[in-house]
Amino acid sequence: MKKEVLIAIIIGFALGLLITFGIWTANKAILTKSEAQPEEKEAKEIVEPTPPIGFTLNILSPQDEALIDTNKAEIKGSSVAAAIIVIAAENEEKIIEADENGSFATEVSLVRGINEITITAFNQEGEKTSQTLNVVYSTAEI
């Protein structure tokens, strides 16, 4: 191999490596900047006073305006830990206590046709929140 060819190979390789390193450094700098931005935003969010978690009542089932083909409906939902849950169905009332995770589940009887179910939750401070569901119990084939 000629001396000139060897020199050309070395120069080409070195030049390629140099440019690659340059590109890699630039990419790294851009990535670091873009990653740093959400962190800054996150830090800002932490610094800002967060509003207290509200006292909520989420009903998972039955869904409002559901069509149910059995004479019982399972009431499932979540609120705060140890919340007192009062359920008033068409011809039945129940009071239960949510577990330590705030989850609750019970069954209520339904009457044929329209059923209004009001679910009320109380937390330990006596705050109250409620939701009313309308469901229809029918065995008609659709």
Partner 1 sequence: MKYTKIILILFILCSTLLPKAFAQTPTPADDEISPEIKEKVQERIEAIQESGSRKAAYFGTIADVSNSTLTIESEKGERKIKTDEETDLIGEKGQAIKLEDLEIDDFIIALGYLETDGLLLGKRISVLAEEPEPAETREAVYGEVADISGEEEVISLSSLKDEVTYEIDVTSKTTIEKKVDDKTEEIDFDEIEIGDRLAAVGIKKNDNGTITASVIYLIPAGAETAEEELTPTPTAAGEE
* Pairwise CA distance, residues 18 & 16, whole Å: 5
Question: Where in 17-36 is the site for partner 1 (CB under 8 A)?
Answer: 17, 19-20, 23-24, 27-28
Going by C-alpha positions, the residue among 116, 61, 120 that lies closest to residue 90 is 116
Question: Where in 96-125 is the site for partner 1 (CB under 8 A)?
Answer: 96-97, 113-114, 116, 118, 120, 122, 125
Element (H, E) at 85: strand 84-88
N-terminal to C-terminal alpha carbon distance within the chain? 87
38 binds partner 1 (CB under 8 A): no
Binding mask 63-82 for partner 1 (x = CB under 8 A): xxxxx-x-------------
Going by C-alpha positions, the residue among 120, 142, 122, 138 that lies closest to residue 130 is 120
Give me the residues that bind partner 1 (CB under 8 A), please: 4-5, 7-9, 11-13, 15-17, 19-20, 23-24, 27-28, 60, 63-67, 69, 84, 86, 88, 90-91, 93-97, 113-114, 116, 118, 120, 122, 125-128, 130, 134-136, 138, 140, 142
